[in-house]
Structure formats: C-alpha cells, structure tokens
Amino acid sequence: MALNKDLSAKYLGKNITLNGAYIKISRIEGTKNNVLLVVSAQTKKDGELIWEKGFSFDPLSKEKNIFASGYEHLKTLPEFEYSEDC
C-alpha cells in the first residue's frame, strides 16, 4: 500500500509541483503507546527520493494492521489531503 498525491515544495526560491508523488511508510518505530511513521515521498517516474519525514500517532485505538492504520492516519493530516491509495 502507498499513497499518490501531487506535492508542492519550494526549491531554490521557486515553488515547484511534483505530479503524482509516490508516498509510502518506509519504517515504523515505537511502542504500543506511540508509533513514529517514517514516511518517504518519491517520484513515480524514477523513484528519486523527494523527502523523508516522521509522523507520530497513537496506535491503541486503531485496527491491528499497523501499516493500514498508519496510512489511514496519514490521510487525516492536511499534508495528505486528497491523496489516493495506490
């Protein structure tokens, strides 16, 4: 599972748009009380890393599959609004 979304970023003082970035949870760290999702965004065309960021959430109230729960959590964040499953 992964997400697909157009991303906007500032690069060398200019605003750029990356169409159809491939966003995936690359690593999960933490405990049963708090989980850190390490998320990477890559270009779909050649898989070049755009960025890697961490997002935390409380996994206790979520379903048992931590990856599925993580993607559902990411889609609730403004940064991933309008992203699509892929």
Residue 6 has pLDDT above 90, yes or no: yes
pTM beyond 0.85: no
Radius of gyration for the alpha carbons in the chain, expressed in angstroms and rounded: 13
* CA–CA dist 65, 16 (Å, integer): 35
CA angle centred on 28, ends 30 and 82, rounded to 5°: 120
Report which secondary-structure segment, H or E, holds 12: none
Q: Which pLDDT tens digit goes with each residue over 19-64?
A: 899 999 999 998 878 889 999 999 887 888 888 999 998 876 656 7
Whether the CB-CB separation of 22 and 43 falls below 8 Å is answered with yes
pLDDT confidence of 83, banded at 50, 70, 90?
Answer: very high
Mapped onto helix, strand or coil, the DSSP state of residue 39 is strand
